[in-house]
């Protein structure tokens, strides 16, 4: 660091920092997005304090406690190769614009990200085997140069105008719309995870945190259909799958019928058909003309959705990451990691 | 440590270069057929866009190569050059000849200095196997353009060959006219003219290709598709290696689609497959014809030498197909 710089402290988050974080966050993102709504403390606490999988934050602070830079991540407990482990999605990385010119290369972004990686990357307790994100291009350029980021995949979406949807028959399967997740969906997630090399834990605390307890302010909308709707598919009273719907913006397109999460056994054609029918009815009610989903093209849902009428299309997104455990190299994750839109903070 | 001369290829290198090539690619591959002088001439001497070869020589013999097949590209209002990296190799007896980075990288680095730049090749690219990709990423500044997908489905076996479709023996100047009617939709694309297409498909000593064309009442070429029957990702595949039809002429595409299906059915092909950029209208049109999008084991990677045209730009604007590769 340049000797002319005022003294800065680079350290892990401490309780009470959230006020300074929000001040900088709202200034940084308010300055680049005219539609930006300042983030509230309630939303910050939901994101970083109430996530059942935890969070990680490193900060660069001035002597008077102002946040110059942040590198942060949302924890994800994952089923990884048959064991429980942790990933994290890097979000909300920022540097106060007033400080960007002070330290040009490698910049405060790198100065906070490097100790963050050293502290939280790895296979130990409280560490993440894999850190990933969907960066803007400028963050990607820095990340690949200084932080060993690699591209995992360029993201495609699956799109289906409602009139093209051909979900198939769903004999004996009913979909119940619920306000919060029932406990028997947990077994559905565990069973699906057994077929994937890696998949985020979908237990009730995690799902309720992600889709039920999310503050309305975080949804960037207040309408009835801007909230998540949850459908649970049951056969003989037992949960065999669930889906989460929301109308919203994705990939620069407004009012999409978003399949925010979708979990059932890949070979359970009836459960999938029932959930797709429910999603379509939800989309019609919300005034969305089509359904949009994201799955890795290496997972069986990718083909099953195409058989139901979805077409693949490009997106602006690409997933990058850094694996901290050698055997979980990027190609392995590309082939085996199950994700949906709900794994991201995009929707 | 052995002494190596790192330099551009010279004509007198060819015998030892071919010896090295055949030694390297014979390793672990019982089906390897030694590359001949005629085949090398086709790839590197007769390519209408030129050649790019750097070698490491030890005691006057080639023991490593970093090479590329250039293509002439229309981009940013002028002809540019891209080059596909192919046939990179290090003789097994010299793989430990230099400390990290090894001889492979040491041969590649001056290659980039010689051929990459704003006044030289704008992009080097390829579809490397994973070990080569890891080296390229770490030492050679390669980046992912896209995780490569393929469009594929079984042939429509009920389709008959449309009489309107012509089996072409070669390309003439009209190929360029078709290309000119498509090029405005492409930010960058290898120029499809008779020189390139005849070199790539008609004079090719490695493979036989079938060329289908559709003409209007005045016999003007409206679109074409190049097909090859081969074992590639699956046995007995019918591969659409090149497809050039103006998106606003779906009836031409439909005729060519039927011709490909009929030919693939006659070949008893298991699958018909092709690469297309996902931003192309044809990407969705092929899905409308029942094709599904599948993953492949390829990263499509590149290195740009003009800062404005980075991987994101290339992903969103570069029209390439299997014809731009040496994969089939």
pLDDT digits (tens, 9 = 90+) for B45-90: 999 999 999 999 999 999 999 999 999 999 999 999 999 999 999 9
Percent of chain A with pLDDT strictly greater than 90: 82
Interface of A with B (CB under 8 A): 137, 144, 150-154, 156, 297-298, 302-303, 306-307, 311-314, 318, 331, 334-335
Measure the CA–CA gap between B91 and B86, rounded to whole angstroms: 15
- Partner residue facing B147 (CB), from A137, A313, A334: A334
Above 60 in pLDDT, residue A1?
no
Give residue-wise pLDDT tens across range B238-265: 999 999 999 999 999 999 999 999 999 9
Closest residue in A to B312 (Cα–Cα): A137
Confidence tier at B95 by pLDDT (50, 70, 90): confident
Per-residue pLDDT of A185-241, as tens digits, reads 999 999 999 999 999 999 999 999 999 999 876 554 445 556 899 999 999 999 999
Cite the DSSP H helix spans in A238-268. none
Cβ neighbours of residue B25 closer than 8 Å, sequence gap 6 or more: B32, B35, B89
Q: Is B41 on the interface with A (CB under 8 A)?
A: no
Cβ-nearest to B295 among A152, A297, A318 = A297
**Shortest Cα–Cα distance, B187 to chain A (Å):** 16
Contact A156 B312 (CB under 8 A): no
Does the structure show a pLDDT above 90 at A4? no
What does the pLDDT read at residue A2?
Answer: 46
Q: Name the 3-class secondary structure at A102.
A: coil
* pLDDT at position B88: 92
- Give the separation between CA A276 and CA A192, rounded to whole angstroms: 18
With an 8 Å Cβ cutoff, are A314 and B294 in contact? no
In chain B, which residue's Cα lies nearest the Cα of A314?
Answer: B278
Nearest to A39 by CA among A21, A52, A57, A64: A21
Size of interface A-B (CB pairs under 8 A): 52
How far apart are alpha carbons B236 and B41 in whole angstroms? 29
pLDDT, position A217:
60
Which class for B275: exposed (0-12), middle (13-18), buried (19 or more C-beta within 10 A)? buried
H helices present in B116-223, as ranges? 130-139, 174-182, 194-197
- Chain B residues with CB under 8 Å of A150 CB are 137
* pLDDT for res A210: 97
DSSP state of A342: G
The average confidence (pLDDT) of chain B is 95
Touching A: B residues 128-147, CB under 8 Å: 130, 137, 143-147
Query: pTM for this structure?
Result: 0.94
Nearest CA of chain A to the CA of B316: how many Å? 9
B146, B278, B315 ranked by CB distance to A312: nearest? B278
Express as a percent the part of chain B with pLDDT over 90: 92
If pLDDT is split at 50, 70 and 90, which confidence band does A69 have? very high
Of B16, B30, B28, B101, the C-alpha closest to B65 is B16
Interface test with B, best of A300, A311, A334, A339 (most B CBs within 10 A): A311
Choose among B74, B68, B56: nearest CA to B116. B68
Q: How much is the average pLDDT of B82-109?
A: 89
- ipTM for the predicted complex comes to 0.94
What is each CA distance from A310 to A188, A279, B27, B50, in whole angstroms?
A: 24, 13, 44, 43
Tokens matching residue A264: 């059932």
> pLDDT tens across A78-123, in order?
999 999 999 999 999 999 888 876 666 678 888 899 999 999 999 9
pLDDT (average), residues A291-301: 98
Which pLDDT score is estimated for A103? 66
């Amino acid at each position: 660091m340049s000797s002319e710089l005022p003294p800065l402290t680079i350290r892990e988050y401490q309780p009470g920092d959230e006020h300074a974080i929000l001040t900088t966050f709202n200034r940084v993102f308010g300055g680049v997005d005219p539609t930006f709504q300042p983030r509230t403390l309630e939303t910050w606490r939901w994101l970083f304090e109430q996530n059942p999988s935890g969070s990680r934050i490193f900060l660069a602070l001035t002597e008077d406690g102002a946040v110059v830079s942040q590198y942060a991540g949302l924890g994800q407990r994952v089923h990884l190769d048959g064991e429980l482990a942790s990933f994290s999605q890097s979000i909300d990385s920022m540097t106060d614009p007033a400080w960007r010119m002070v330290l040009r290369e490698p910049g405060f972004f790198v100065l906070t990200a490097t100790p963050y990686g050293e502290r939280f990357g790895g296979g130990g307790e409280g560490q993440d085997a894999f850190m990933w994100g969907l960066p803007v291009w400028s963050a990607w350029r820095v990340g690949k140069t200084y932080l060993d980021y690699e591209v995992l995949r360029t993201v495609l979406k699956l799109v289906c105008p409602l009139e093209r949807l051909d979900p198939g028959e769903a004999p004996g399967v009913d979909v119940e719309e619920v306000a919060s997740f029932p406990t028997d969906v947990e077994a559905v997630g565990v069973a699906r995870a057994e077929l994937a090399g890696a998949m985020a834990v979908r237990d009730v605390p995690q799902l309720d945190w992600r889709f039920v307890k999310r503050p309305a302010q975080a949804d960037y909308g207040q309408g009835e259909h801007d909230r998540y709707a949850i459908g649970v598919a049951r056969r003989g009273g037992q949960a065999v799958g669930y889906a989460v719907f929301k109308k919203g913006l994705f990939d620069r397109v407004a009012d999409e019928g978003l399949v925010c999460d979708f979990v059932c056994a890949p070979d359970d054609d009836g459960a999938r058909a029932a959930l797709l029918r429910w999603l379509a009815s939800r989309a019609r009610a919300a005034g969305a003309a089509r359904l949009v989903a994201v799955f890795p093209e290496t997972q069986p849902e990718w083909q099953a959705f195409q058989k139901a009428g979805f077409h693949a299309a490009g997106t602006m997104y690409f997933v990058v990451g850094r694996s901290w455990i050698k055997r979980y190299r990027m190609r392995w994750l590309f082939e085996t990691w199950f994700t949906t839109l709900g794994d991201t903070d995009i929707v | 440590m052995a002494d190596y001369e790192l330099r551009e290829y010279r004509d007198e290198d060819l015998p030892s270069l071919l010896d090295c090539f055949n030694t390297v690619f014979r390793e672990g591959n019982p089906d390897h057929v030694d590359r001949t002088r005629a085949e090398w001439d086709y790839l590197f001497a007769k390519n209408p866009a030129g050649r790019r070869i750097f070698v490491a020589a030890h005691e006057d013999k080639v023991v490593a190569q970093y090479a590329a097949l250039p293509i002439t590209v229309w981009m940013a209002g002028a002809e540019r050059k891209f080059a596909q990296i192919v046939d990179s190799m290090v003789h097994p007896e010299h793989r430990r000849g230099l400390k990290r980075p090894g001889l492979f990288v040491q041969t590649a680095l001056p290659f980039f200095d010689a051929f990459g730049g704003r006044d030289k090749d704008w992009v080097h690219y390829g579809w490397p196997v994973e070990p080569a990709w890891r080296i390229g990423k770490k030492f050679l500044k390669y980046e992912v353009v896209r995780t490569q997908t393929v469009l594929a489905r079984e042939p429509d076996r009920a389709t008959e060959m449309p009489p309107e479709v012509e089996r072409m023996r070669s390309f003439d100047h009209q190929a360029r006219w078709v290309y000119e009617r498509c090029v405005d939709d492409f930010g960058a694309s290898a120029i499809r003219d008779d020189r390139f297409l005849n070199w790539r498909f008609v004079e090719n000593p490695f493979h036989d290709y079938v060329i289908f064309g559709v003409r209007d009442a005045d016999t003007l070429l409206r679109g074409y598709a190049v097909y090859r029957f081969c074992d590639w990702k699956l046995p007995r595949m019918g591969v659409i290696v090149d497809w050039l039809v103006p998106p606003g002429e779906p009836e031409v595409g439909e005729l060519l689609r039927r011709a490909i299906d009929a030919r693939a059915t006659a070949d008893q092909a298991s699958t018909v497959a092709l690469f297309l950029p996902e931003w192309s209208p044809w990407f969705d049109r092929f899905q409308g014809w029942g094709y599904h999008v599948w993953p492949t084991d390829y990263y499509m990677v590149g290195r740009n030498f003009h800062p404005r045209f980075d991987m994101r730009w290339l992903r969103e604007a570069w029209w390439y197909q299997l014809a731009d590769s040496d994969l089939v």
